[in-house]
């Protein structure tokens, strides 16, 4: 019931269209009912009495009733489908917006394939509910009630007997709908896994080929594909079996009616016209009844998928403070800060101060907590302990104003499937071409001017039209364009050659000379000019000092420097 209530709430803004759809259903029902009533005149007045005027009048009335029925059908169907499509548009936007507002940690816990499946496949299933299941139930339901009225009018006793057959159909809907729903949910979960495998494969196809891992990947794909096949086949089995049983049951009912009607006509208790009229209503009532029953079963089968969408929409969003961030005045302080994830401690406890305008370097082995540490400042990572900015707790600041003052560039670049200009403007949508060109020059993006369309060149999906180093330089150009107060580079130059890297780092240090800069080093040479260097190990700061003081100490930093280790 929760899923049904949620769907109805989504449709509420379009109540006028739903009312219009209901009125259309009433017209359709009235037209169908009129046709069944007019059949009596055709049989008794035309076929038996052979009245020519009655023939013309009845035919015209049947034609008018048919037009009325189809006009009602169009109004009912299109109104509710239009409302449903609008609802789906809003739901897609809500889900997408929610995913962008949830904490960063959510994406660490949930595979991209599962999220893509929910946004695409699950919403597609919801579309079937809104544009097929619900319209069929409501429209066919109204038509069914109208024709049921005709049946009661023609023969109340027989109709009462037939009504007792409805609970049998209801039980079949309940049983088969539950079975279909269980396997439909498994199918959607399997599709999520399959999407994840497909996404990972397309991203890593180069490595798959180099390591000759095609057969292993195909084997994994077959595993998920087989699971989807089994669930989908079982779902369709119950649906098809239910349909076959429904029609068998329906024909059995018709046989009973033929016997009963024939018996009454032979005894003179009913005219042929009345019986044909009753039969017409009975035949016309079966399609809406079966369609409504089929739609109800499909609705029950599809409803479990809706809960996967609701789960996303009910996610807790990032918590933002109410205080506007006015910029770093003195220092950022960490006190007993820890980060735990999945029962494992990733960082801390640690204490440190970062002074305004300071240039900090961070080195350490993979998994030492470097990236986790710097992601605390823009509040991408949840933490325990205290992080203060000029004496104010970090959590009290409004997220938008805080992040507007921070520039973060990482080893993994984010590029949209658009032009170079469109990708740069992510950092500052109002920037002029002059500002864009200046940012590109500071990031050493000289390759842009060698392209035929320059900044209007398409970069392709995930920037595949560019090399790794070119993608990283575009990402760094965003930092220059944004001109933030706090600059964080997390191995942001790892794909650059040594000479280009030196130029970019020099431009960063010069351009942001009065700003606070934190560099997670890919090479030791990138941080030789930093005011302080932190050496991290197992989530803690093991050493701290200047480049030369750490060399003289001959500890972990000296070992990294001596061995020429790339960190």
Residue located via tokens 């349909």: 243
C-alpha distance from residue 299 to each of 4, 7, 14, 526 (Å): 10, 11, 20, 60
Helix pair angle (272-313, 134-154), 10° resolution: 160
Give the whole-angstrom CA distance, residue 347 versus residue 544.
16
Number of neighbouring beta carbons within 10 Å of residue 41: 21
Which residues are paired to 407 by β-bridges? 487
Bridge partners of 334, per DSSP, are 352, 387
Partners of 489 in beta bridges: 409, 519
C-alpha distances (whole Å) from 164 to each of 132, 159, 280, 379 are 28, 9, 20, 64
Dihedral angle at the C-alpha atoms of 496, 412, 397, 102, nearest 10 degrees?
170
Q: How would DSSP label each residue in 490-514?
A: ESTTTTS-HHHHHHHHHHHHHHTTT
Residue carrying structure tokens 């403007």? 425
Q: Which residues of the chain have pLDDT under 70?
A: 1, 41-52, 54, 113, 161, 164-178, 180-185, 188-189, 192, 196, 199-200, 202-212, 250, 254, 261, 265, 462, 564-567
- For the chain, the C-alpha Rg in angstroms (whole number) is 35
Gap between the Cα atoms of 477 and 458, Å rounded: 17
**What is the distance in angstroms between the CA of the first residue and the CA of the last residue of the chain?**
55
Residues 6 or more apart from 136 whose CB is under 8 A from it? 291, 292, 294, 295
Look at residue 503 in the predicted model and tell me its pLDDT: 92
- pTM score of the predicted model: 0.69
Could you give all domains of the chain from N- to C-terminal order, each with its CATH number?
Answer: 2-103+129-186+226-313 (1.20.1560.10), 331-562 (3.40.50.300)
How long a stretch of residues is the chain?
567
The count of other CB atoms within 10 Å of the CB of residue 137 is 18
Contact 485, 406 (CB under 8 A): yes
Write out the two tokens for 474: 């575009």
Distance (Å, whole) CA 501 – CA 523: 10
How far apart (Å, rounded) are the C-alpha atoms in residues 2 and 9?
11
- 314-373 tens-digit pLDDT: 888 888 888 999 889 999 999 999 998 877 888 989 999 999 999 999 998 888 889 899
Distance CA 554, CA 114 (A): 48
Contact 352, 334 (CB under 8 A): yes
Q: What's the burial of 342, exposed, middle or buried (CB within 10 Å: 0-12/13-18/19+)?
A: exposed
Q: Is residue 146 a contact partner of residue 37, using CB atoms and an 8 Å limit?
A: no
Can you give the pLDDT at residue 392? Answer: 92
Which residues in 354-393 are b (16+ Cβ under 10 Å) and which e?
Answer: bebebbbbbbbeeebbbbbbbbbbbbbbebebebebeeee
Q: Look at the alpha carbons of 196, 199, 201, 203 in this order and tell me if their dihedral is positive or negative.
A: negative
Q: Are 65 and 31 in contact (CB under 8 A)?
A: yes
Residue 163 contacts residue 101 (beta carbons within 8 Å) = no
Assess contact for 348 and 368: CB atoms under 8 A.
no
Beta carbons of 427 and 412 less than 8 angstroms apart: no
């Amino acid at each position: 019931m929760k899923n049904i209530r949620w769907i109805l709430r989504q449709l509420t803004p379009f109540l006028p269209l739903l009312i219009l759809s209901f009125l259309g259903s009433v017209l359709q029902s009235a037209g169908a009912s009129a046709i069944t009533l007019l059949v009596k005149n055709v049989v008794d007045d035309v076929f038996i009495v052979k009245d020519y005027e009655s023939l013309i009048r009845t035919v015209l009335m049947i034609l008018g009733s048919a037009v009325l029925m189809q006009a009602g059908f169009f109004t009912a169907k299109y109104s509710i489908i239009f409302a449903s499509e609008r609802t789906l548009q809003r739901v897609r936007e809500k889900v997408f917006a929610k995913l962008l507002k949830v904490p960063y940690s959510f994406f660490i816990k949930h595979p991209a394939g599962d999220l893509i499946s929910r946004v695409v496949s699950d919403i597609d299933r919801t579309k079937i509910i809104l544009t097929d299941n619900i319209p069929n139930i409501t429209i066919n339901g109204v038509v069914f009630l109208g024709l049921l009225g005709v049946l009661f009018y023609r023969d109340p006793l027989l109709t009462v007997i037939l009504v007792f057959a409805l609970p049998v159909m209801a039980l079949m809907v309940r049983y088969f709908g539950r079975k279909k729903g269980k396997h439909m949910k498994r199918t959607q979960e399997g599709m999520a896994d399959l999407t994840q495998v497909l996404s990972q494969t397309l991203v890593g196809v180069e490595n798959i080929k180099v390591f000759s891992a095609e057969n292993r990947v195909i084997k994994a794909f077959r595993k998920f594909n087989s699971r989807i096949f089994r669930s989908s086949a079982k779902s369709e089995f119950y649906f098809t079996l239910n349909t076959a049983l429904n029609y068998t049951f329906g024909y059995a009912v018709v046989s009973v009616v033929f016997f009963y009607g024939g018996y009454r006509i032979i005894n003179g208790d009913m005219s042929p016209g009345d019986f044909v009229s009753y039969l017409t209503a009975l035949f016309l009532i079966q399609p809406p009844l079966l369609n409504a029953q089929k739609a109800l079963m499909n609705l029950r089968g599809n409803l479990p998928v809706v809960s996967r969408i609701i789960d996303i929409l009910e996610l807790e969003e990032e918590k933002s403070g109410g205080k506007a961030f006015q910029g770093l005045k003195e220092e950022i302080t960490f006190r007993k800060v820890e980060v735990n994830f999945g029962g494992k401690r990733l960082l801390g406890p640690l204490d440190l101060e970062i002074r305004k305008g300071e240039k900090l370097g961070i080195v350490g082995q993979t998994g030492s907590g470097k990236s986790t540490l710097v992601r605390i400042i823009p509040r991408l990572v949840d933490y325990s302990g205290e992080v203060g900015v000029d004496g104010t707790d970090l959590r009290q600041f409004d997220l938008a104003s805080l992040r507007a003052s921070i520039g973060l560039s990482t080893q993994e670049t984010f590029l949209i499937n658009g032009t170079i200009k469109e990708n740069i403007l992510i950092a500052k949508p109002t920037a002029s071409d002059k500002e864009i060109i200046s940012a590109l020059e500071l990031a050493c993006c000289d390759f842009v001017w060698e392209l035929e369309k320059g900044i209007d060149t398409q970069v392709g999906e995930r920037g595949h039209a560019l090399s790794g180093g070119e993608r990283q330089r575009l990402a760094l150009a965003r930092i220059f364009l944004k001109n933030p107060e706090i600059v964080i580079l997390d191995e942001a130059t790892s794909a650059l050659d040594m000479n280009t890297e030196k130029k970019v780092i020099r431009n960063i240090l010069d351009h942001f000379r009065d700003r606070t800069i934190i560099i997670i080093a890919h090479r030791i040479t990138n941080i030789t000019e930093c005011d302080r260097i932190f050496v991290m190990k197992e989530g803690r700061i093991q050493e701290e000092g200047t480049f030369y003081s750490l060399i003289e100490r001959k500890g972990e930093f000296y070992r990294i420097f001596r061995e020429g280790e790339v960190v």
